[in-house]
A and B are shown apart, each in its own frame.
Chain A
Amino acid sequence: MKTDGEKEVRLMKGNEALAEAAFRAGMKAYFGYPITPQSEVMEYLTFHAPEHPDVVVLQAESEVAAINMVYGAAGAGARVMISSSSPGISLMQEGISYMTSAQIPALIVNVQRGGPGLGTIQPSQGDYFQAVKGGGHGDYHLLVLAPASVQEMVDFVIEGFRLTEKYRNPAMILADGALGQMMEKVALPPQGILPPTPAPWATTGKPETRERNILTSLFMEPERMESINLHLQKKYRMMEETEVRYECIGTDDADIILVAFGLMARVCLKVMEIAREKGLKVGLLRPMTLYPFPSAILRKLAESVDAFLTVEMNAGQMVEDVRLSVEGKKPVYFYGRMGGMIPTPEEILEKLFSIVHVQVR
C-alpha cells in the first residue's frame, strides 16, 4: 500500500472513492436507492459496512423515503450522506426544501445523468439550475461543490460535511456520471479526519436541563416565517462572503477565459493547452463552489480580458450566472452539448476560434 504522508494512495472509481471518503469522514448514516450511474456508492458502503459497525447503511424503498430518513437521522444529530442521480434527486426536492427550513445539515450527492425525464445514463450537467437555485419550493440555496477529479470526489466529501454542519444547511456535491465511473489515482484521508460537530439542537431526547428540541419547517405566523427566511438569507450572504472557491489557470495574461466546472473544466484544460500552442492566450476559471458562485473574480477578470466562453454539458445554465457576474462588461459566449454528450476539445476549439474571429473583427 502506497502512502503519501499520512494519506493512503489508491486507484479508485469516483463513486467508490466518494463512499470510502464518507466512512473516513465519520459519516454515521447513509440512506439511498439504486440508480445509475451512482449505484456503486451504496454497493461500496454496504460491502464495507461490516468494517464500520457504528455506521448505518440502509437501502430505502424510494428516494422519497431515503431523504426523509436523512431528515430524521441528521435531525437526531448524526452525520448523514445520501446519494443519487438526477431523476432520484428530483424526487428528493421536497425533503431537501424541508431540511433547509428546519436547518438540518446533510450531504447530498448528485452524480448527474442526461435529462430531462428518465433521460440517459451518460454524464450531464443538466441539473445546475436545480442544484444552485434551490430546486424545491421556497427561497433557499444549497452549498454546492463541483468536483473535477476523483481526488475531489474524496476531498469534497470532507469539505461538504464541514460546510453543511457549519451552516446547518444541506450541502450538495454536484458530480456527473463520468466522474462517478472513471478511475484515477486518489489520496485518501485518514479515518477520523473530521471530528464530530456538536449539535445541541438535535432531537436526542429531552433531558431536564434543557427545553425540548423541535425541528420543524412550519411557521404559521407570517412574521415568524419571514424571520426564518431572513435568517436563512443571512446565512447565504455569509456563505457568499466566506465560502467561494475557484481555480484560476493561466488567467493572468489571458485574452479569452474559459469558464467551466466539473468534467468540462478537465476538457477545457486540454482546449487551453492546444489554444496556447496555437498562440491564443486562453485561461480557465473553474468554479469549485457553484453556490456560492465566484462572481467577484469574474467581475475582476472582466476588466482585463476580451471575452468569456462558458462550456457546459447542458443547454447553457451556469452561463447565466457568468453573465450576471460580468454585468455586460465583456461578451460571454456559450458552448454546450446535452443529453449525455460530452463536448470534445476540437468542438470547443472551433467555437473558441469563431469568437476570436468576432473579437478581432
Chain B
Amino acid sequence: MTMHNDMEVVYKKPQTLTDTPMHYCPGCGHGVVHKILMEVIDELGIQSQTVGVAPVGCAVFAYDYMNIDMQEAAHGRASAVATGIKRVLPDKYVFSYQGDGDLAAIGTAETIHTVNRGENILIVFINNAIYGMTGGQMAPTTLDGMITSTSPYGRDVHTMGFPLKITDLVAQLPGAYYVTRQAVYSTQHVRKLKKAITMSFQFQKEKKGTCFIEVVSNCPSGWKMTPVEANQWLEKNMIPFYPLGDLKAPR
C-alpha cells in the first residue's frame, strides 16, 4: 500500500475508541452510537474525567471498545451503578449505556428513580425493540404485532402488554433536564445525535440534572432483515411510533 503522507486528514477514528474489532452484527446501530459517543469525549477532551457503565445485553462488551474507565453492571442496574459512581465522584462525567430490555423492563425501577432524583448523569438508551443478545426475544418496546422469537405470531398487546414509551414517561419527571429521542439510520440523524450527546455532557458539567437520550435503532439479525431492509423498516414502522425530537429541552 502506498503511503500518502502529503494528504490532508479530513476524518479519523476517535482515539478514545479502541482498535478491538466489534462483535456487533453488520448494520447494527450500536457501533455508530459507540463511535459518536467516543468522538464527543475526544472533542471535549474528557477521556480522563469520564466513567461509563455498560449494561447487560448486546452492549455488554462496550468497555472493550471504549478506552475509558468502565464498570459492567448487572442486568437493569446500570443507572443505579452510575448513581453510585457519580455520588462519590461528583466532578467526573458519568454515563450509562443501556438497551430496551435492560432499561425499560428489568431496570424500570432504577431508571425511573435515577431520573426522579435528577442524578447528574447521561443515560444513553438504545431502543431496537428486541432482545438482541439472547436471540431476538420480545422487548418492552417491541411494536404491536411485531414478530420476535417469543412473540412468534406477533405481539398481542392484550396478552403481552403494550410497547412501552419509557422516554415519554421519564420526560414527565422533574429530575429530567434534557430528554430527547434520536436515531442513527442516516448521516443527518447521526449528526443530530452527536449534538445531543455534546449538549448532555455540557449540561452535566453545569450540574443540571439527568440527561436522557433514546436512540431508535435497528437489529438486522433479530429482525431477520438485511441492514438496508432494517433501516427502511425502522423508518416506516419504528419512527411513527417513537417520533424523533426533544421531549424535554431547556428553554
Interface residues on A, range: 35 or more
Report the bound CA distance from A85 to B72 in whole Å.
Answer: 27
- For residue B229, give the distance in angstroms from its CB to the closest CB of chain A: 30
Which residues 96-134 of A sit at the B interface, judged by CB distance below 8 A?
98, 102
**B88 engages A218 (CB within 8 Å):** no
Name the contact of B81 in the complex, choosing from A56, A75, A213 (C-beta under 8 A). Answer: A75
Q: Which chain A positions have C-beta within 8 A of B74?
A: 68, 71, 94-95, 98
**A215 engages B72 (CB within 8 Å):** yes
Is B73 on the interface with A (CB-CB < 8 A)?
yes
Select from chain B the residue with minimum beta-carbon distance to A214. B63
Select from chain A the residue with minimum beta-carbon distance to B84. A72
SS class, residues of chain B in contact with chain A: helix
Report the bound CA distance from A96 to B77 in whole Å.
Answer: 13
Select from chain B the residue with minimum beta-carbon distance to A207. B48
Is A174 on the interface with B (CB-CB < 8 A)?
no
Report the bound CA distance from A64 to B108 in whole Å.
Answer: 12
Q: A69-B80, A205-B48 are in contact. Are A56 and B69 (CB under 8 A)?
A: no
**A204 engages B80 (CB within 8 Å):** no
Which residues 133-184 of B sit at the A interface, judged by CB distance below 8 A?
none
Is B33 on the interface with A (CB-CB < 8 A)?
no
- For residue B111, give the distance in angstroms from its CB to the closest CB of chain A: 10
Interface residues on B, range: 35 or more
> Among the interface residues B49, B68, B72, which one has the most CB atoms of the partner chain A within 10 A?
B72
- For residue A81, give the distance in angstroms from its CB to the closest CB of chain B: 12
Q: Which chain A positions have C-beta within 8 A of B66?
A: 212
Which residues 68-87 of A sit at the B interface, judged by CB distance below 8 A?
68-78, 80
Between A and B, 26 residue pairs with Cβ closer than 8 Å are A31-B84, A58-B87, A60-B113, A61-B109, A61-B110, A64-B77, A65-B77, A66-B80, A68-B73, A69-B80, A69-B83, A72-B86, A73-B88, A75-B84, A76-B51, A76-B85, A76-B89, A78-B88, A203-B85, A205-B49, A205-B68, A212-B63, A213-B70, A214-B72, A215-B72, A216-B54
B interface residues, Cβ below 8 angstroms from A: 47-51, 53-54, 60-61, 63, 66-74, 77, 80-89, 92, 109-110, 112-113
A interface residues, Cβ below 8 angstroms from B: 28-29, 31, 56, 58, 60-62, 64-66, 68-78, 80, 94-95, 98, 102, 203-208, 212-218
A-B pairs with lowest CB-CB distance, top 10: A72-B84, A73-B84, A216-B72, A68-B80, A72-B81, A203-B69, A69-B84, A68-B77, A61-B113, A78-B88
